[in-house]
């Protein structure tokens, strides 16, 4: 048996990815996030199994991965989606805030990947997705820590691709622009100016469905009218 693992699955893009796989794949879905109540809501909609976990804590990640593998085996798909955006210029972002953004947006992806990678390598197959951002390839003033973290996540994924391509694993980084998720709650932008999270989720499923002879290493998605 195998499964789909989605971190940051309790809302937004992560919840949309879980829903898309529930409709498209006959695989158990492991929903990973911190807030159990939100996970339960997504589980009701996706037939997923919840694993409450703070992915910035190494011990919690190791325990979660072991539980998932024991129950379902090595993942067929691992989606490193957990993340958080906190605005701030370099001068307005103290060291603690900077490190927090790195932990949530970069280090968590490293720890989750490393926890599942041995089982996936032994399996000799699997697809790892990293939820980057247009901030992985473009600098935004007032988003110093977030840009640094997302640039780093792209570098991590590229390195993983080179290290695992001969072992049968595929690695893809998605770099979406502004997407209608709770991160934009309170903004004055019309929803039509933002991408639909379901479109990002469908992109993940479509890329996964490609022949194993082909891998999309990276893909940029932007609102029709461009970046915000």
Q: Distance between CA 188 and CA 191 in Å, rounded?
A: 9
How does 174-190 read in b/e, with b if 16+ C-beta sit within 10 Å?
Answer: bbbbbbbbebbeeeeee
CA 64 to centroid of chain Cα atoms: 16
User: Which is the catalytic residue, given 146, 152, 154, 173?
Assistant: 146
Annotation says 146 is catalytic: yes
How far, in Å, CA of 156 to CA of 110, rounded?
A: 8
With a CB cutoff of 8 Å and minimum separation 6, the contacts of 76 are 2, 3, 4, 27, 125, 126, 127
Residue positions annotated with a catalytic role: 146
């Amino acid at each position: 048996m195998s499964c789909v693992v989605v971190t940051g699955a309790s809302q937004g893009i992560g919840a949309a990815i879980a829903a898309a796989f529930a409709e498209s794949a006959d695989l158990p879905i492991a929903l990973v996030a911190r807030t159990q109540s939100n996970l339960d809501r997504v589980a009701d909609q996706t037939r997923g199994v919840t694993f409450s976990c703070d992915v910035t804590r190494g011990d919690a990640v190791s325990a979660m991965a072991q539980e998932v593998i024991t129950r379902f085996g090595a993942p067929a798909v691992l989606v490193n989606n957990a993340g958080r955006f906190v605005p701030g210029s370099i001068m307005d972002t103290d060291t603690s805030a900077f490190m927090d953004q790195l932990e949530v947006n970069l280090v968590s992806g490293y720890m989750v990947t490393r926890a599942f990678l041995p089982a996936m390598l032994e399996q000799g197959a699997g697809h790892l997705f990293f939820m980057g951002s247009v901030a992985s390839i473009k600098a935004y003033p007032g988003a110093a820590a977030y840009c640094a973290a997302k640039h780093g996540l792209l570098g991590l994924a590229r390195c993983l691709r080179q290290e695992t391509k001969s072992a049968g694993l595929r690695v893809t980084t998605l770099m979406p622009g502004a997407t209608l998720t709770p991160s934009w709650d309170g903004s004055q932008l019309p929803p039509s100016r933002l991408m639909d999270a379901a479109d990002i989720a469908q992109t993940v499923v479509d890329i996964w469905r490609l022949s194993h002879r082909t891998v999309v290493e990276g893909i940029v998605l932007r609102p029709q009218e461009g970046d915000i």
